[in-house]
Amino acid sequence: MIVFNLLSAIFGAAAAIALYLTYFGDKTAKWSVYVAATFCLIISVYQTLSFFFALNLRSRLKQGQASSTELGLKDVRELPEANASMFVQPKSVTENTTELLERKSQNG
């Protein structure tokens, strides 16, 4: 993406400069040529900003990877296993099954 942003910025600026140099001051040039040159210039500025944002993001990513490898070298202990017994009361799989069997035998 960084290379694409840089190339788009360069091509947009080159297109805008070529249009301005070719038609600037020419009385036969239509207004649409100047609008197209302005849009190429705007796209070039946008792609330049996107290029610098991508460079910044890549450097921050590299810093994060470097700091994560530094953390791996330190002594890291695991947290103890959570005790959820006070929140969840597990029920027995066989709870109330004998009661159901007794009812069936009484009715049948």
Which tens digit of pLDDT belongs to each residue from 22-56?
A: 888 887 878 888 889 999 999 999 999 999 999 99
* 23 in Cβ contact with 29 (< 8 Å): yes
Q: What is the DSSP letter of 75?
A: -
* 27 in Cβ contact with 38 (< 8 Å): no
- What's the predicted TM-score (pTM) here? 0.54
Mean pLDDT, the chain, rounded, equals: 81
